[in-house]
Amino acid sequence: METTVHYLGGTKFEVGTGSHRVLCDQPVANGGEDADMSPPAFLLASLGTCAAFYALQYLRTRALPAEGLSVKVHAEKALQPARLASFRIEVDIPQELDDRHKEGVLRAVKACLIHNTLLQPPAIQTVIETGVHAHV
């Protein structure tokens, strides 16, 4: 899996994965135009869409209605180092579910790839490339 980010000017970037493209910007408070989602918003979107997909899969495999399924993700910021320190995922299923299926949806959402990645942080290697030389 690979994503490429290209600088467009100002504080805007184009993000590409395969044939898909999205734009990223910073809020006005960070010198941007707030024209597109910010990097933290993309992280929340990734967690929320992953959670929603896993909830949907649980509902579908049990022939339970999925109409109106929605997910909200809230995050709290922290400093030193600057980061998102806590997340709250709210899964809203308009149809009534018994306790067994509520627990099943909860287990499914907690199995989400992004959820598990955040719980077990991956190693991150940063490499700076200038011209023909790479600097780690």
Q: How far apart are CA 1 and CA 76, in angstroms?
A: 28
All structural domains of the chain with their residue ranges = 1-37, 39-135
Q: For residue 122, what are the β-bridge partners?
A: none
Domain 39-135 has CATH 3.20.20.60: no
Q: For residue 16, what are the β-bridge partners?
A: 4, 21
* pLDDT per residue rounded down to tens, the chain (136 residues): 999 999 999 999 999 999 999 999 999 999 999 999 999 999 999 999 999 999 999 999 999 999 999 999 999 999 999 999 999 999 999 999 999 999 999 999 999 999 999 999 999 999 999 986 656 6
Instruction: Give pLDDT, residue 29.
Output: 95
Instruction: Work out whether strand 4-9 and strand 12-17 pair parallel, antiparallel, or are unpaired.
Output: antiparallel
Instruction: Give pLDDT, residue 136.
Output: 64
Q: Provide the 8-state DSSP code for 120.
A: S
Sign, CA dihedral 119-136-10-83, equals positive
